[in-house]
Amino acid sequence: MELCERIRTVNPSVTIEVTSRAKQMQARGIDVVGFGAGEPDFDTPAFIKDAAKAALDAGDTKYTPAKAGELKAAIAEKLKRENSLDYSPEQVLLTFGGKHALYNAFQVLLEPGEKVLIPSPYWVSYPEQVKLAGGQPVFLPAGPEKGFKITPDDILAHADGAKALVLNSPCNPTGVTYSPEELADLARAVLQTDLVVLSDEIYEKLVYGQTKFVSFAALDERLTDRTLTINGLSKTFAMTGWRLGWAAGPKEVVKAMATMASHQVTNPVSFAQAGALAAYTHQDAPAAVEAMRQEFERRGRHMHQRLEAIEGVRCVQPTGAFYCFPDVSAHYGRTFGEVEVTGSLDFARACLQTAKVALVPGVAFGADNCVRLSFATGIEQIDKGLDRLEEMLTG
Ligand SMILES: Cc1ncc(COP(=O)(O)O)c(C=O)c1O
């Protein structure tokens, strides 16, 4: 059967592929250290699971128009309380993960061929989702020499004829977070253009050191009409498998995305919504989130220090999310085992075969000099994996 052009240009997610290859090796009894996963290793906090179990026991197993309203109101309340954003519950759409929110956003915003500015390195799904919506990704280079950040001039130089800009701070894969001042500078540039902004704030709670998180739309009231804020429960509450995300923004955009969702998925799973409601309203939630954040901070600092100590590895300090994104290109041209390394794909293959360490090639994120290591795993695993990597590279 012939597939349409639209899907033929789209690449499968490399991050999911690497993680599943490592899991297959582990299932065969091979001791692989996994740095591939983009998800917290913590269990979902008990009070969230209890709320979902109680909902199931109470027969909360039907379509959810009423429950969805309650959760949207709780999210609007969270946005006021934590993000200084004033949205009504009707301006919130519940989705199957932040990924689904982004997908629907591109679908309702883009005309065929319209350009979307994406800082590079980027999260794997942005360009593919733009292509699936018939749009055209345009990459704004933000390599390690720029601290993995774009500047106002980058926006102004590419805004002509572009429809949207994607911002992701804290960032997957670089672990970099824009300061409030840097974001305000970007906001001033955006306000000189006609761009709409998709602000992916899924890692908002995972910031480290002196880093402060601000929502992009809160920086200037003129941004509320042209910013769509994307978020979800996956990373903040260790709920990746629950598939719950959301978007908040201008009424007409959220309404159009809801129309799409009404033909696609209706609302997210009933008892998952009950868990999400507890996540946003339960008194124990802030402490549970803070405990996970502190542990990620400890691991991130440790992984960064260890990577920097390896010859030929240079790593920008992560200030958010749970990734290190070191430049390993000094080792390209070498051969490890049977693998001659010419780029990040070979490097990742060599790591898996020789060191039994799974990491993600940077080429998947538009940066072939780098590889991504997730520190959403215990300190002992981090040490074990980095001992092996160091031995492979310098032993
Ligand atoms: C930058 C970024 N945005 C969005 C998502 C989507 O997460 P989910 O669909 O689980 O909410 C992810 C997940 O890896 C991510 O890293």
What's the per-residue H, E or C state across 58-113? CCCCCCCHHHHHHHHHHHHHHHHHHHCCCCCHHHEEEECHHHHHHHHHHHHHCCCC
Residue listed under structure tokens 């799904």 = 125
If one residue of 166, 235, 269 were mutated to test the ligand 1 pocket, choosing by the most ligand atoms within 8 A of its CB, it would be 235
Q: Is the shortest distance between the CB of 98 and ligand 1 below 6 Å?
A: yes
Residue 239: pLDDT above 80? Answer: yes
Span 201-208, mean pLDDT?
A: 98
Q: The whole model's pTM is what?
A: 0.96
Position 79 scores a pLDDT of: 98
Tens digit of each residue's pLDDT (9 = 90 or more) over 284-332 = 999 999 999 999 999 999 999 999 999 999 999 999 999 999 999 999 9
The span from the CA of 108 to the CA of 110, in Å, is 6
Q: Which atom of ligand 1 is nearest to the CA of 232?
A: 11
**CA 163 to centroid of ligand 1, rounded, Å:** 22
Residue 196 reports pLDDT greater than 70:
yes
As a whole number, mean pLDDT of residues 230-243 equals 98
Looking at per-residue pLDDT, the higher value among 9 and 252 belongs to 252
From 13, 122, 123, 265, mutation site for ligand 1 pocket: most ligand atoms within 8 A of C-beta: 123
Asked if the model's pLDDT at residue 16 lies above 90, the reply is: no
Q: Which residues contact 370 (CB under 8 A, 6 or more apart)?
A: 121, 144, 173, 325, 326, 327, 328, 329, 344, 362
Residues 44 and 237: beta-carbon distance below 8 Å: yes
202 lines ligand 1 (CB under 6 A): yes
For the CA of 233, the closest atom of ligand 1 is 11
Using the predicted structure, report yes or no on whether residue 128 has a pLDDT greater than 80: yes
User: What is the mean pLDDT of the segment spanning 110-133?
Assistant: 97
Cα 319 to middle of ligand 1, angstroms: 18
3-class secondary structure, 247: strand
CA dihedral sign, ordered 173, 199, 7, 242: positive
Interval 200-212 mean pLDDT? 97
241: Cβ contacts below 8 Å, ≥ 6 apart: none
Q: Which of 61-65, 120-124, 185-189, 298-302 has the lowest mean pLDDT?
A: 61-65
Q: Would you say 206 and 8 are in contact if contact means Cβ atoms under 8 Å apart?
A: no
**Is residue 66 very low, low, confident or very high in pLDDT (cuts 50, 70, 90)?**
confident
12: pLDDT confidence band, cut at 50, 70 and 90?
confident
User: How many Å separate Cα 101 from the centre of its chain?
Assistant: 12
Domains for the chain: give ranges and CATH numbers.
5-43+287-394 (3.90.1150.10), 47-284 (3.40.640.10)
121 lines ligand 1 (CB under 6 A): no
Residue 171 has pLDDT above 70, yes or no: yes
Give the atom of ligand 1 at the shortest distance from the alpha carbon of 98.
11
pLDDT digits 0-9 by tens, 344-366: 999 999 999 999 999 999 999 99
Compute CA 361 distance to the chain's CA centroid, rounded to the nearest angstrom: 16
Share of the chain above pLDDT 70, in %: 100
Q: Which among 186, 118, 180 has a CA at the least distance from the CA of 152?
A: 186
CB 173 less than 6 A from any atom of ligand 1: no
Rounded to an integer, the average pLDDT of 32-54 is: 95
The response to whether residue 310 sits with its C-beta less than 6 Å from ligand 1 reads no
CB distance 135 to ligand 1 below 6 Å: no
Give the distance (Å) from ligand 1 centre to CA of residue 99: 6
Confidence of residue 15 (pLDDT cuts 50, 70, 90): low
- Our CA angle for 68, 74, 78, nearest 5°, is 140
201 within ligand 1 shell (Cβ under 6 A): no
How high is the pLDDT of residue 20? 78
